[in-house]
Amino acid sequence: MRRLGLALSSALAWLSLSSHAFAVETDIRGWDKLSWGMTAEQVDSALPQAVPLSPPWDFGPLYAERMVQNVVVGGIAFDLVPELARKNGRLVQILFERRSPIPGPDELQSFVNDLHARLGPPAENCVVESGLVTRLWRFPSAQVALTAVDFSADGSRGRLQRLLLRYTAADHAPASPCERNKPRP
């Protein structure tokens, strides 16, 4: 249990590092050539380098059929997964996923600095549950969530196991995970 506490403290420490923002986004309407509301065909055209997911990923109300590997964000390579709403087949979320091995502290610092420079200070920062640390930014057209996953109980010795960066259209953004853990009056 002590090891989990140390691991979460480390994750919180790197997530709480601040940097000076220079060209902070005022709104986010997608990512690179992707924009909210695109059809599957438009997403495919915007991402010719995408590879098919077999089987497609099922996220309940969302699904993904393709992904782009090694998309660099803040110096770290992620898999980019455009997620479409099942009810209308339109782009509503862009998932960036990095699995183990997670880069070391210097690379994570650079990544956090990049996010701060582009997104400004986060609206929320919390430990959602044991092993999950979340940082959240809100914009008129989007919500951006960074989640660091650390499952120390699996013998990882407190090393981060996954980084998830989600850009979600505001009208499809889930409730803040930070709100779920706040005590009720």
Tell me if 180 is assigned to some domain. Answer: no
Q: What is the mean pLDDT of the chain?
A: 81
Number of structural domains (the chain) is 1
- Type of residue numbered 139: F
pLDDT digits (tens, 9 = 90+) for 48-94: 999 999 999 999 999 999 999 999 998 899 999 999 999 999 999 99
Residue at 7 is within a domain:
yes
Place of tokens 């070391």: 104
Pick the range with the lowest mean pLDDT from 23-32, 98-107, 152-161, 171-180. Answer: 152-161
On whether the CB atoms of residues 96 and 75 are closer than 8 A, the answer is: no
Which range of residues forms the domain containing residue 10? 2-18+33-175
CATH at 157: 3.40.1000
| Rounded CA separation 118/155 (Å) | 35
Greater confidence (93 vs 182) lies with 93
Q: Is residue 80 part of a domain?
A: yes
Q: What is the pLDDT of residue 30?
A: 87
Residue 46, in any domain of the structure: yes
Cβ distance 43 to 34 under 8 Å?
yes
